[in-house]
Structure 1
């Protein structure tokens, strides 16, 4: 467990929680939209956004261990898409 000096302040923890929520929702939206769009370039951008969002979530989760209060972190990689594909595409 981090020492008190390494812990995040309460407002930092709330900000971190909000960023995790934002990134998780953005990841879910990008994954969903990948199955709805037909333009190859747009689909590629959505895939890149999903990959970057997943990496950002992993980074934020490491910081979450320093929060003075914690709640369960939701799964960070939604896999369903309308075309039946997942992360392995």
Structure 2
């Protein structure tokens, strides 16, 4: 009924600047339907040097966790954010 597009845009811009944790970005992306945040967040998780924790795996969900683990096993060097588009689509099928 009431669209409040300016308020929605302001909130998205605020969240985009303030939410830096890739797991939080994924949660917000899923809640708010912001697909543009998904691939960069997953790429950041794949490229980091720390191993995933049990809690982080639970936050990702089973399908994303498996895909992230597969991607991390392939190696972290040489990947660009755009490389994750293909395997993300496969994970959500």
Q: Which has the higher helix share?
A: 2
Which structure has the greater CA radius of gyration? 1
TM-score range (shorter-chain normalised) is: 0.3 to 0.5
Q: Which has the higher contact order (CA 8 A, sep 6+)?
A: 1
TM-score, normalised with respect to structure 1: 0.34
TM-score, normalised with respect to structure 2: 0.33
